[in-house]
Chains A and B, each alone.
Chain A
Amino acid sequence: MTTRLAWRARVAVGCVVTVNYFSRRLGRGAGTVAGGRVGLALEPRLLRALTRSRTVVLVSGTNGKTTTSALLRAGWGDDVAGNVTGANMPAGHVAALATSRAARVVLETDEAWLPSVLADADPAVVVLLNLSRDQLDRANEVRQLAQRWRDCLAAPQFTGVVVANSNDPLVVFAAQASERVRWVDVPTPWRGDAASCPHCTRALDFADRGWSCACGFAQPTPPTATLREELHFSSQSFRLDLAVPGMFNEVNAALATVALVELGQDPGEALARMRRLDTIQGRYGLRRFGERTVRLMLAKNPAGATALLESLSEGEVWIAINAQIADGKDPSWLYDVPFGVLRGRRVRCLGERRLDLATRLTYAGVQCEVSDDVDALRRGTDDVTVVANYTAFREWLARTAPC
């Protein structure tokens, strides 16, 4: 930890803390990345230095990283360090670790950065949630990403345990490179990126008993744990009863529970601690918007939006879509989302690309209104779920206050 670091790393840590202190005072965001960048420039091995002699869990995947990391921290007990603001590349990681001496660390990790962070942080457990198309105008083709994961998990230096979703063929393709995998069989509705086999490109066959390919690549069995109505795990069953909504969050909690058992935690006690979590960075909890109560949900890619639409509560649905660099500049992905489930509901289109959204909804047979004036919506009594992509979500977070 900090006291045992070499002088160069100590200087770098000092810079991380100082730069972040000033960037927060100057009002430049949460102040978690600027200092981290300075620290890594001074000492490129800073992440390695800061994770040495701590127990590290990495969480990666296209969807659910932030929530799963929060569930892991909550379930692990007190004093767990982590990149809680969601800055999930090394600059965010070193910033989080520079200000905490906690021996337990959970790092949410960007999919593309997983190989490099894995090499530096020497994790005890790596949680792999899912892999699907996201922000494709950045040219992150998911199959290439799966191959890079596979390569890093096969490296002899990596001695940790992999906790992986056995229902996602691309995750399985990557995780099978490791000899120490705990497979978790969880509902995974999105199949859009795994129709053809990652080994031989033939069509994968999805059956009730699991998926398989003619080349022999198949869903690994038996799993360590299975999530259906309850989480079935070493001949016990646990009700999840989470405070955060949706089947996709039960999936996240199932993977987090298996990871915590690997770290010596009791599954029942870990789940009891996870149940206390009801809002994560403004998501899921109720917030105030003028006279209205709104619930903010983040959906930034087809798989995430598909999962979220399946578990919407009653009331109006407002969808806010932007297409800035952080969102991906191309909103074509809206056509991969089965918006038809919204037919018959009251739907408003918001955000910079509200006309793209309204066009997409119209072609899906969903009647909707285009709202050009957001502030006019503050008056009203109906409950609202706001579904927003990345930068639109940040705008909504700023526009609303916790209840």
Chain B
Amino acid sequence: MLRLAVVFPDLLGTYGDGGNGEVLAARAGARGMDVEVLDVTIGSGLPGADLYLLGGGEDGPQRLACDLLAEGGLLERYRDGAHVFAVCAGLQILGTSFSVEGDASYPGLGVVAATTTRGPSRSVGDLATLVQGRMMVGFENHGGDTVLGADLSPLGDVVIGRGNDGRVDGYAGPRVWATYAHGPVLAQNPWLADEILARVSGRTLAPWPSVADRLYAERCAQLSSRRPDADRTAGRR
């Protein structure tokens, strides 16, 4: 039984981030795996799981989610062998500290050595990251600047968009992946969904063709035909 925990969709789920759990469950089910999706709501405690999925959220809910995850012992569960996939605010929470309202620094969970401060402006637009030779496509909407510790590798190099700092996006560790591409980034990148699924389940996966492959091909074609950083908007902050 593969247990996927979608963590606090009511706090961290601003951009359809809950979709990542649905995508992994559907792709696991299509390969004949027994899979259970646990929606972890506020007040329900943190259940045991093979993979925890963290989404994005506004400042207040982000701090609350961080407190609840500390209480629930996400760090201990990760150290005991669980996997974590995080986007946007979830990426920031897993680090050692992050800044939200009023630039005050808030302690993170310390799962990885990453610190986030408030960047000069908000980044809103397409994000394309080259992950070990493969393109990951998505959409970012955040105001954070994230610096990784010396031992932590980024997920990949930014081709379009900003990611952590305009050069690299997210981070990847033995059992943790994070990106600033919010929302259902695994829906747009079926190869990444399968890679995570293979690592979490310890299995080799047979290909599973679907319309998601057409979507991925279309998004890659659209983004590669575009000048980097054209058509981007800088918002408030």
Are chains A and B native binding partners rather than an unrelated pairing? yes
Residues of chain A whose beta carbon lies under 8 Å from any beta carbon of chain B = 133, 136-139, 141-143, 191-192, 195-196, 201-203, 302, 329-330, 332-336, 355-356, 358-360, 362-365, 370
Query: Would you call B14 an interface residue if the criterion is a C-beta within 8 Å of the partner chain's C-beta atoms?
Result: yes
- Chain B residues whose C-beta falls within 8 Å of the C-beta of A203 in the assembled complex: 10, 41-43
Q: Which residue of A lies closest to B126 (CB)?
A: A329
Q: A359 near B215 (CB under 8 angstroms)?
A: yes
Query: Would you call B141 an interface residue if the criterion is a C-beta within 8 Å of the partner chain's C-beta atoms?
Result: yes
- Sorted nearest first, the 5 A-B pairs with minimum C-beta distance are A332-B183, A335-B19, A335-B16, A195-B10, A203-B42
| Alpha-carbon separation in the docked complex, A334 to B184 (Å) | 9
Report the minimal beta-carbon distance from B60 to chain A, rounded to whole angstroms.
4
| Alpha-carbon separation in the docked complex, A67 to B14 (Å) | 26
Q: Which residue of B lies closest to A142 (CB)?
A: B58
Q: B11 near A364 (CB under 8 angstroms)?
A: no
What are 7 of the A-B contact pairs (CB < 8 Å)? Answer: A139-B124, A143-B60, A201-B64, A202-B64, A332-B139, A332-B184, A362-B211
Answer whether A363 and B141 are a contact pair too, CB < 8 Å, given A138-B235, A356-B215.
Answer: no
Q: A330 near B211 (CB under 8 angstroms)?
A: no
| Alpha-carbon separation in the docked complex, A191 to B9 (Å) | 11
Report the minimal beta-carbon distance from A52 to chain B, rounded to whole angstroms.
33
Q: B42 near A195 (CB under 8 angstroms)?
A: yes
| Alpha-carbon separation in the docked complex, A167 to B141 (Å) | 29
| Alpha-carbon separation in the docked complex, A137 to B88 (Å) | 13
Answer whether A362 and B210 are a contact pair too, CB < 8 Å, given A143-B58, A192-B10, A355-B218.
Answer: yes
| Alpha-carbon separation in the docked complex, A334 to B16 (Å) | 7
Q: A196 near B64 (CB under 8 angstroms)?
A: yes
Q: A141 near B58 (CB under 8 angstroms)?
A: yes
Interface residue ranges of B13-43 to A (CB < 8 Å): 13-19, 22-23, 26, 41-43
A-B interface pairs (CB < 8 A), number: 104
Query: Would you call B95 an interface residue if the criterion is a C-beta within 8 Å of the partner chain's C-beta atoms?
Result: no
- Chain B residues whose C-beta falls within 8 Å of the C-beta of A302 in the assembled complex: 16
Report the minimal beta-carbon distance from A345 to chain B, rounded to whole angstroms.
17
Query: Would you call B125 an interface residue if the criterion is a C-beta within 8 Å of the partner chain's C-beta atoms?
Result: yes
Answer whether A330 and B64 are a contact pair too, CB < 8 Å, given A335-B184, A335-B187.
Answer: no
Return the contact of A139 from the options B11, B18, B122, B211 (Cβ within 8 A).
B122
16 additional A-B pairs beyond A191-B10, A360-B19, A365-B26, beta carbons within 8 Å, are: A137-B125, A138-B124, A139-B141, A192-B10, A330-B141, A332-B15, A333-B16, A335-B17, A335-B22, A336-B18, A355-B215, A358-B215, A359-B210, A360-B187, A362-B210, A362-B212
- Chain A residues whose C-beta falls within 8 Å of the C-beta of B58 in the assembled complex: 141-143
Return the contact of A363 from the options B22, B139, B233 (Cβ within 8 A).
B22
| Alpha-carbon separation in the docked complex, A151 to B26 (Å) | 45
Q: B18 near A335 (CB under 8 angstroms)?
A: yes
Report the minimal beta-carbon distance from B228 to chain A, rounded to whole angstroms.
17
Q: B42 near A329 (CB under 8 angstroms)?
A: no
Query: Would you call B227 an interface residue if the criterion is a C-beta within 8 Å of the partner chain's C-beta atoms?
Result: no
- Chain A residues whose C-beta falls within 8 Å of the C-beta of B43 in the assembled complex: 203
| Alpha-carbon separation in the docked complex, A139 to B184 (Å) | 18
Looking at A191, A195, A363, the one whose CB has the most chain B CB atoms below 10 A away is A363
| Alpha-carbon separation in the docked complex, A73 to B110 (Å) | 57
| Alpha-carbon separation in the docked complex, A345 to B94 (Å) | 41
- Chain B residues whose C-beta falls within 8 Å of the C-beta of A143 in the assembled complex: 58, 60
Q: Which residue of A lies closest to B58 (CB)?
A: A141
- Chain A residues whose C-beta falls within 8 Å of the C-beta of B10 in the assembled complex: 191-192, 195-196, 203
Q: Which residue of B lies closest to A198 (CB)?
A: B60
Report the minimal beta-carbon distance from A64 to chain B, rounded to whole angstroms.
22
Return the contact of A333 from the options B15, B42, B122 (Cβ within 8 A).
B15
| Alpha-carbon separation in the docked complex, A141 to B122 (Å) | 13
Q: B26 near A363 (CB under 8 angstroms)?
A: yes
| Alpha-carbon separation in the docked complex, A5 to B14 (Å) | 46
| Alpha-carbon separation in the docked complex, A139 to B237 (Å) | 10
Answer whether A332 and B19 are a contact pair too, CB < 8 Å, given A196-B42, A196-B64.
Answer: yes
- Chain A residues whose C-beta falls within 8 Å of the C-beta of B124 in the assembled complex: 137-139
| Alpha-carbon separation in the docked complex, A142 to B184 (Å) | 20
| Alpha-carbon separation in the docked complex, A136 to B17 (Å) | 13
Return the contact of B63 from the options A137, A201, A363 (Cβ within 8 A).
A201
- Chain A residues whose C-beta falls within 8 Å of the C-beta of B14 in the assembled complex: 133, 136
| Alpha-carbon separation in the docked complex, A356 to B233 (Å) | 22
- Chain A residues whose C-beta falls within 8 Å of the C-beta of B141 in the assembled complex: 136-137, 139, 330
Q: A196 near B215 (CB under 8 angstroms)?
A: no
- Chain B residues whose C-beta falls within 8 Å of the C-beta of A370 in the assembled complex: 211
| Alpha-carbon separation in the docked complex, A356 to B218 (Å) | 10
Mask, B204-233, CB within 8 Å of A = 1, is: 000000111011001000000000000001
Q: A330 near B183 (CB under 8 angstroms)?
A: yes
| Alpha-carbon separation in the docked complex, A323 to B116 (Å) | 30
Q: Which residue of A lies closest to B213 (CB)?
A: A359
| Alpha-carbon separation in the docked complex, A93 to B198 (Å) | 56
Query: Would you call B162 an interface residue if the criterion is a C-beta within 8 Å of the partner chain's C-beta atoms?
Result: no
Report the minimal beta-carbon distance from B219 to chain A, rounded to whole angstroms.
8
